[in-house]
A and B are shown apart, each in its own frame.
Chain A
Amino acid sequence: MHRILKPKLLFTVWAMITFVFLFLPIFVMVVFAFNRPSLASAPNFDGSNMSSLSPAQIGDVTLWNGFTHGWFSVALHNPLYLPAIIKSAEIALLAATIATALGLCAALALARMKRRRRAPFDVLVYLTLVVPEIVLAVGLLIFFVQARTYVPGFPELGAGTILLGQVIFDASLAMLIIRARFVGMGDSLEEASYDLGARPLSTFRQVTLPRLMPAVVAAFLLSFTFSFDDYVVPAFTNGTTNTWPIVLYSAVRFGITPSVNAMATMMFALNVLLLVVTALILRRSRARVGPGQEEAKGLGGAMGLG
């Protein structure tokens, strides 16, 4: 008995330490979003616009001074944060929609294509996933600048070019997620549908799509998240547009301010909330899967993405 117990204990301790390592920084960030400014810096706050205070004026914010929830309203009133978040959400929503549509179409065609025929496309897709983002970002920057010069009507650097750049990665990702599920589903139900006289389009609508839905949802959410959180491609192709990661990044490089903590905390909370809601939705759809399905990819398969 003790032979199995001892390694188990060691592993458990190690895992606990790792979880602390993973969550301690986030925990500290959340706690310090409620940190009061130090006494020494208090005079700087008199009558000033709090969101324009520099980190030096705010003073030591990485040591605990006392509780306040004031930073949350400071963050929400910051002239940069909310517009940037809304802009990011708009771009990410469009990018995820386009990417999921592109990925779905490609996945349908590729899943049952012969390996040799689809190989060139596969190579391209893996290439888009493997190329470092910084390389893609600078490549897109010069590409967009040239295109603007030589192609009439091409958008100038801004939200449009950010979108165009992000769809590349998102579409590849969406294709792989949807295809993995499509292949796993097998084709017996579709065959049955054809045998019963349904046309291809109604087979797709009534048989294929509903069963692909969890993967489509997962692909959409993952694309959305990646676009929303993406910094590198937008940083080089944004022109004068500010997205939330760009604002966050410049704030982070500038120094640590509790209002950044507060905004980041709100975004983190929203993220966890979305994750839980998605988990519940996927779980329900998993319970409803029909016959002929080898194994429904649940939350783990669809969202963890192994």
Chain B
Amino acid sequence: MKKAVKVEPEPRTAAPARRGRSFKPRYPAWLVMPSLVYIIIFFLGAMAILVAFSLATQVGFGQISFGVSFANYREVLDPLYLSIFARTMVMAFLGAALTCAVGYPVAYWMARYLTTYKMLALLLIMVPFWTSFLIRTYALKIILDPGGYLATYAGIDIMYTKYAVGVGLVYNYLPLFILPVFATLERMDWTLVEAANDLGAPPLRAFRQITLPLTLPGVVTGALLVLIPMTGEYIIPNILGGGKFEFVGNLIGDQFNAAQNQPFGSALAISLMVVLSALVAIYIIFAGKEERFGA
């Protein structure tokens, strides 16, 4: 899978303005060329050909005639496919919300109450983060298996349903949410909470008026950080949904594997990109805000 990784925002170089400085060590700008050329050829190239395919028409099996036709996009607007888009979005939003609900208290606990064991807790979050996505999904499948203990003795048989997919989303993306939110909480000035308590604010009120507003940008960033890859998720619905609960990603994959309707698959892929760009726009707005507040 692709783990969307958030890299720490660049700390501002707090160098005082030095006057009369004749020279700044810089590296030549052409050093950026190898990556730039690489990304343009292989990434933009692939995206461009995807657009070209989405506008082409399928003639017979696997034969394609290029042109500018929006028939594939009209097919995407079919209620059947729109419902899969809607389902994907609903699942991704619910998954991200659940991840927040589960993960925020954990991050809060780590930042607020842990001292000696903070590094250990961080390591315990990082082990799943660094473990193969596939292995973790497989491990979850063992637990949820209809013949396993959970189904046999607890009567919880949710394998190949939306519930299994939901659990899979939260399970796989939880570390990715906890890590940045923990970083935000860690950077917060906890003496503000102390001051509020000293001034007579009950803990819940101090949390609502100080901790929450100060960490909200970080939480939104973390939530979008898991929401975006959840929307494009492919592996979890395939393994835990067993083909019965498909996301848009699976639908796209099917067009290139079984159905062999590559132009339609390309149109689906481009449509997914359009949906995602809206989410990314929100992300950029919030990321900018977070930087400004320095929270």
Contacts and interface: CB of A to CB of B under 8 A. Distances in A.
Contacts, number: 315
Contacts of B43: 124, 127-128, 136, 168
A226 B229 CA distance: 15
Contact of B130 (A8, A12, A21, A225): A225
A194 B25 CA distance: 8
B47 to A, nearest CB: 6
Contacts of A193: 25
Contacts of A275: 123, 126-127, 130
A84 B280 CA distance: 36
B292 interface: no
Interface string A225-238: 11011111000100
A131 interface: yes
A286 interface: no
Contacts of A12: 109, 113
Q: Is the interface of B mostly helix, strand, loop or mixed?
A: helix
Given A26-B128, A303-B126, A231 B1 contact: yes
Nearest to A113: B29
Given A62-B142, A232-B234, A172 B10 contact: no
Interface residues of A, number: 116
A190 B25 CA distance: 7
B113 A11 contact: yes
A305 B179 contact: yes
Contacts of B8: 180, 297, 301, 305-306
A124 B47 CA distance: 12
A118 B27 CA distance: 13
B7 A180 contact: yes
B237 to A, nearest CB: 11
Interface residues of B, number: 106
B201 to A, nearest CB: 12
A14 B105 contact: yes
A253 B129 contact: no
Contacts of B122: 299-300, 304
Interface stretch (A45-53, A72-80, A141-149): A141-149
A23 B35 contact: no
B13 A186 contact: yes
Nearest to A123: B284
B147 A60 contact: yes
B15 interface: yes
A134 B113 contact: no
B134 interface: yes
Contact of B11 (A102, A109, A164, A294): A294
Given A132-B229, A138-B50, A187 B252 contact: no
A103 B266 CA distance: 29
A125 interface: yes
A15 B125 CA distance: 11
A267 B135 CA distance: 9
Given A26-B128, A63-B148, A245-B132, A102 B6 contact: no
A169 interface: yes
Contacts of B249: 132, 134
Given A121-B36, A252-B137, A261-B142, A139 B47 contact: yes
Interface string A23-38: 1111011001000000
A211 interface: no
Contacts of B127: 272, 275
A184 B12 CA distance: 7
B53 interface: yes
Given A109-B28, A297-B8, A183 B13 contact: yes
Contacts of A26: 128, 131, 135-136, 139
A133 B232 contact: yes
B27 A108 contact: yes
Given A26-B128, A124-B40, A143-B46, 6 more contacts: A29-B139, A138-B253, A138-B255, A138-B262, A186-B15, A187-B15
13 contacts: A106-B36, A108-B27, A108-B31, A112-B26, A135-B273, A168-B42, A180-B7, A184-B11, A229-B132, A252-B134, A252-B138, A272-B127, A301-B8
Interface of A: 3-4, 7-8, 11-12, 14-15, 18-19, 21-26, 28-29, 32, 60, 62-63, 101-103, 105-106, 108-113, 117-118, 121, 124-143, 146, 164-165, 167-169, 171-173, 175-177, 179-180, 183-184, 186-188, 190-191, 193-194, 200, 203-204, 222, 225-226, 228-232, 236, 245, 248-249, 252-253, 256, 260-261, 264, 267-268, 271-272, 275, 279, 294-295, 297, 299-301, 303-306
